[in-house]
């Protein structure tokens, strides 16, 4: 790769790819925002980028370079001979070209900073490439995460016929005011989503409590007490957590059909904790092991028995871990789909995920389905963002479950 170690080679290559990536990003963003056609030009943007990349390697003040690059992009784009072509209103055109120009000028100068025209050291070359890849990575990951969620929210606010006409037009008619939320209102009024929300909520909360009630003593025993078969037990917990739900769902379906537990909330509340107990036990025992045993021994010396030690010493110390585990279990129960889908048939006791599954029919407009998806996503996202610290800790603590 030694041929890359010249500013006049690395510069144009990075510039070409980078300007093409930026043009694509701005075009997609503007298409999604306005519904008008925006399109990156392949060869033209690569060529422009190559020239600009070469220019960015010029030894000049970086402000002047950035301004010059931005000006070139802006003018070329507006005359229709640049990295991006479009058919839209004058205002949108100026805005899009301006955005592309400013971002392009600033970022390209930044990437090529300390990467002069002539021969480069290995460091200079690699750092330029790393800055390029970093920028690419941020754009790529942010786009792939945001686009689906943006489409989900926007589809729920638009009518199906409008989307069939132009699937790219996510612009909102703000004059409609509250009527924008019509599909949400219909879900709550006609499709019982208020009840589903409540059912999902209390099923998840019950699952959390039952899971904790079972897994705390179990985790403590595995973490602290000496007994024969401890290693085997802790391994079998891990094993159980690898058995796929669909394998268990079949006999559970049969057993519940025979005993009449199918189609009852009781059945769901019985089965959900069992799917989460192994995970919770595994996460908690890891945390309990990290607590200093001396504190508990001091408690024992002072005349507490083991159960009192757990209640008065271990649990208060483990509160952050309990919060993480509870959040994680809540998330699993809230998002659970397979069991709810197989075991619940009666629309009166649907959980939220089961309710959304019932919206997936050709007779129900698409925006209802997406509104349902938003309703299911928002609470778990709010919890997640509000308590992100606990959540990430919980996720890393032992959760490799999908």
Partner 1 sequence: MSDISAPKGTGPLAKREARLAWSLLFPTIAIVSLVVILPLLAIFWISFKPIGLADLRPVAPVVREDLRNAGDPDQAVRYRLQNRSQDTPIENVIFFDTVPAGATLGELPEVCELSGTALTCTIGTLEPGERLTFLIPVTLEGDLETLEDALEDDTEARATGDADSILTNTEFSLENFARIFDGDEFLTVMWATIFYTVFGTIGALLFGLFAALLLNKSFRGQGILRGLYLFPYVAPVIAVAFTWVNLFDPFSGSANALLVQMGVTTQTINFFGERPLALIMVTVFEIWRYFPLSFLFILARMQSIDTDMYEAADMDGASPFQKFWYLSLPMLLGILSVLFLLRFIWTFNKFDDIFLLTGGNAGTRTLTVNVYEQAFAISNIGAGAAVAVVIFACLLGFSFFFFKFISREEGL
Binding residues for partner 1 restricted to 257-296, rule: CB under 8 A: 257-258, 271, 273-274, 277-278, 281
* Contact flag: residue 218 with partner 1 (CB under 8 A): yes
CA angle 74, 75, 77 (to 5 degrees): 70
CA angle 39, 44, 48 (to 5 degrees): 115
Please count the CA atoms within 13 angstroms of the CA of 253 that sit on its side-chain side: 14
CB 68, min distance to partner 1, A = 27
| Binders in 116-135 for partner 1, by CB under 8 A | 122-123, 126-127, 130, 134
Using the contact rule CB under 8 A, the part of the chain among 10-18, 173-181, 223-231, 311-319 near partner 1 is 223-231
* Contact flag: residue 391 with partner 1 (CB under 8 A): yes
* Contact flag: residue 227 with partner 1 (CB under 8 A): yes
**176 vs 230, beta carbon nearer partner 1:** 230
CA dist., res. 43 & res. 87, Å (int) = 19
Among 155, 199, 285, 326, binds partner 1 (CB under 8 A): 155
Beta bridge mates, 38? 86
Q: Tokens in use for 74?
A: 């802006």
CA dist., res. 209 & res. 215, Å (int) = 10
Residue 216: partners with Cβ closer than 8 Å, 6 or more residues away: 284, 310, 315, 322
* Contact flag: residue 402 with partner 1 (CB under 8 A): yes
Using the contact rule CB under 8 A, the part of the chain among 53-61, 70-78, 215-223, 315-323 near partner 1 is 215-223
Among 3, 59, 228, 362, binds partner 1 (CB under 8 A): 228
Among 226, 232, 292, 361, binds partner 1 (CB under 8 A): 226
Q: Tokens in use for 143?
A: 């786009």
CA dist., res. 386 & res. 395, Å (int) = 15
Among 222, 268, 283, 343, binds partner 1 (CB under 8 A): 222
* Contact flag: residue 106 with partner 1 (CB under 8 A): no
**60 vs 300, beta carbon nearer partner 1:** 300
* Contact flag: residue 152 with partner 1 (CB under 8 A): yes
**73 vs 219, beta carbon nearer partner 1:** 219
**64 vs 136, beta carbon nearer partner 1:** 136
**177 vs 402, beta carbon nearer partner 1:** 402
* Contact flag: residue 380 with partner 1 (CB under 8 A): yes
Among 74, 191, 220, 288, binds partner 1 (CB under 8 A): 220
Among 244, 292, 303, 316, binds partner 1 (CB under 8 A): 244
Q: Which string of x and - marks every residue 14-33 that binds partner 1 (by CB under 8 A)?
A: ----------x--xx--xx-
Q: How many residues bind partner 1 (CB under 8 A)?
A: 104
What DSSP state is assigned to residue 2?
G
**74 vs 241, beta carbon nearer partner 1:** 241
- DSSP of 128-180: HHHHHHHHHHHHHHHHHHHHHHHHHHHHHHS-HHHHHH-TT-----GGGGGGG
CA angle 377, 380, 383 (to 5 degrees): 145
| Binders in 349-378 for partner 1, by CB under 8 A | 352-353, 356-357, 360, 366, 369-370, 372-374, 376-377
């Amino acid at each position: 790769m030694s041929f890359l170690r010249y500013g006049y080679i690395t510069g144009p290559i990075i510039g070409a790819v980078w300007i093409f990536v930026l043009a694509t990003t701005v075009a997609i963003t503007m298409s999604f925002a306005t519904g008008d056609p925006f399109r990156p030009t392949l060869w033209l943007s690569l060529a422009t980028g190559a020239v600009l990349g070469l220019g960015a390697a010029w030894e000049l003040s970086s402000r002047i370079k950035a301004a010059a690059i931005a000006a070139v992009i802006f003018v070329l784009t507006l005359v229709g001979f640049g990295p991006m072509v479009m058919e839209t209103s004058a205002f949108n055109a100026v805005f899009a070209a301006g955005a592309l120009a400013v971002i392009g000028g600033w970022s390209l100068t930044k990437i090529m900073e300390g990467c002069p025209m002539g021969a480069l050291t290995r460091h200079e070359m690699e750092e330029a490439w790393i800055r390029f890849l970093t920028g690419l990575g941020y754009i790529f990951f942010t786009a792939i995460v945001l686009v689906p969620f943006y489409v989900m929210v926007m589809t729920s606010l638009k009518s199906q016929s409008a989307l069939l006409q132009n699937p790219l037009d996510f612009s909102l008619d703000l004059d409609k005011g509250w009527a924008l939320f019509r599909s949400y209102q219909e879900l709550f009024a006609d499709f019982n989503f208020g009840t589903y929300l409540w059912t999902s909520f209390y099923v998840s909360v019950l699952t959390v409590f039952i899971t904790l009630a079972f897994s705390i003593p179990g985790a403590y025993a595995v973490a602290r007490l000496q007994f024969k078969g401890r290693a085997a037990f802790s391994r079998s917990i891990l094993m159980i957590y690898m058995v796929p739900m669909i394998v268990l769902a079949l006999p559970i379906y049969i057993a519940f059909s025979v005993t009449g537990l199918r189609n009852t909330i009781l059945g769901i509340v019985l089965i959900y904790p069992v799917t989460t107990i192994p995970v919770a036990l595994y996460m908690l025992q890891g945390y309990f092991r990290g607590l200093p045993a001396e504190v508990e021994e001091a408690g024992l010396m002072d005349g507490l028995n083991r159960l009192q030690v757990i209640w008065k010493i271990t649990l208060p110390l483990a509160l952050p871990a309990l919060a993480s585990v509870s959040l994680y279990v809540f998330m699993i129960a809230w998002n659970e789909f397979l069991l709810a889908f197989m075991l619940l048939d009666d629309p009166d006791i649907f959980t939220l995920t089961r309710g959304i599954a019932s919206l997936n029919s050709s007779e129900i407009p698409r925006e209802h389905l997406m509104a349902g998806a938003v309703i299911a996503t928002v609470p778990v996202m709010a919890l997640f963002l509000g308590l992100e610290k606990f959540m990430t800790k919980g996720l890393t603590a032992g959760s490799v479950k999908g």
